[in-house]
């Protein structure tokens, strides 16, 4: 009797070739290295700019002091220029603080605390360097409440508050595919990760 060959695959899981993932891992490491080099370059350039502004401030203040010593009124433009430079220093300081902030840790934590039915629409920073606002859509208030509770349990977020909540009907938008108006919410939270310095401070 002619017996046909029978092939049986008894493997329960598909074999994963780790070597095939090496190129992707190498590319990811290269991107991280390039980002690190760029951040160091940006930090160095901004620090040099701050030192230049501080030297200008010191020079202008010295000129004003000499003018007062001679009983000569200091020109109004000097004070205006000093104030303008100080504002620029504060702005550059804020850029450095934002650049050195551990965004990867912050955003990973935000993603892990976001329920699957929550859609984050916008994420912005406020004038305070440790305060953030999150806007999104949810199917119900229960999901928004769960989101807030998750942020309260986090070691990265603190003082999370619901600023506003509305339905898409109230905002004049269309309902979602399920026929239930989605909820638009806005949350304000603070970061437990302290920035290197606050806005408005100038390093000595």
Which CATH number describes the domain made up of 103-191? 3.30.1360.100
Q: What is the pTM of this model?
A: 0.47
Domain locations in the chain as residue ranges = 21-100, 103-191
**Positions in the chain short of pLDDT 70:** 1-29, 31-43, 46, 63-64, 66-79, 90-101, 127-130, 169-181, 194-204
Kindly report the average pLDDT of the chain as a whole number.
71
3-state secondary structure the chain: CCCCCCCCCCCCCCCCCHHHHHHHHHHHHHHHHHHHHHHHHHHHHHHHHHHHHHHHHHHHHHHHHHHHHCCCCCCHHHHHHHHHHHHHHHHHHHHHHHHHCCHHHHHHHHHHHCCCCCEEEEEEECCCCCEEEEEEEECCHHHHHHHHHHHHCCCCEEEEEEEEEEECCCCCCCCCCCCCCCEEEEEEEEECCCCCCCCCCCCC
Tens of pLDDT, residue by residue over 93-143, are 666 666 666 778 888 888 888 888 899 898 887 766 568 899 999 988 999
């Amino acid at each position: 009797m002619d017996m046909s060959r029978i092939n049986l695959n008894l493997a329960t899981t598909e074999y994963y070739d780790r070597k095939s993932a090496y190129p992707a891992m190498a590319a990811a490491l290269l991107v991280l290295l390039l980002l690190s080099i760029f951040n160091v370059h940006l930090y160095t350039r901004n620090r040099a700019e701050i030192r230049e502004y501080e030297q200008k401030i010191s020079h202008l203040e010295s000129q004003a002091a000499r003018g007062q010593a001679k009983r000569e009124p200091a020109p109004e433009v000097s004070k205006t220029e000093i104030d303008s430079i100080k504002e620029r220093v504060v702005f550059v300081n804020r850029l450095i603080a934002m650049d050195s902030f551990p965004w990867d840790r912050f955003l990973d934590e935000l993603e892990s605390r976001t329920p699957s039915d929550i859609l984050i629409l916008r994420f912005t920073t406020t004038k305070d360097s440790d305060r953030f606002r999150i806007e999104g859509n949810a199917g119900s208030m229960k999901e928004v409440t769960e989101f807030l509770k998750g942020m309260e349990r986090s070691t990265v977020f603190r003082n999370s508050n619901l600023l506003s909540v509305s339905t898409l009907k109230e905002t004049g938008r269309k309902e979602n595919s399920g026929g239930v108006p989605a909820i638009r919410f806005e949350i304000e939270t603070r970061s437990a990760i302290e920035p290197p310095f606050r806005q408005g401070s100038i390093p000595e």
